[in-house]
Amino acid sequence: MLSGFVLSQADGRPMYLQIIEQIKRRIAVGDCKAGELLPSIRQLAADLQVSVITVKRAYLELEREGIIATQHGKGSVVATRSDTAARLYEQELARQLEQAVHLARLLGLSTREMQARLREASDRLAGEIKEKA
């Protein structure tokens, strides 16, 4: 389930944050379902070739955020809260919008210009979806 992680020393972010981000993204897109068992801390550390402490820190943070639930002796599972994926989508949307605003500011676009471009992109995507249907 959690194969295919890409951790990078050149990323600049600590490994545990990269693990957190990738687990959240997989939950948000539906690759990991509510109630699904996650690899043990030791197993994921071995698979990713990182310290057990690194994975433990990631799991503790995910648990603190309510993304996963851990039961001593049973392991960690994706939280069964029905809004987990929606919350992660909201967080990802906010992050993407902040990046878009940052880029727009670098380009010198006004708020109106940014709104117009967002509307154009939305209309273009809606048109593409219609064509596929």
What's the CATH code of the domain at 51? 1.10.10.10
Same domain, yes or no, for 71 and 92? no
Q: Which amino acid is at 18?
A: Q
CA of residue 13 relative to chain centroid, distance:
14
Buried b (16+ CB within 10 A) or exposed e, 2-36: beeeeeeeeeeeebbebbbebbbebbbeeebeeee
Q: Provide the number of structural domains found in the chain.
A: 2
Is-above-0.75 flag for pTM? no
Q: Does the residue 88 lie in any domain?
A: yes
pLDDT digits (tens, 9 = 90+) for 26-78: 888 888 888 999 999 999 999 999 999 999 999 999 999 999 999 888 899 99
Nearest to 59 by CA among 46, 78, 82, 31: 78
Same domain, yes or no, for 66 and 95? no
Same domain, yes or no, for 95 and 69? no
Q: Does the residue 110 lie in any domain?
A: yes
Q: Which domain holds residue 111?
A: 84-132
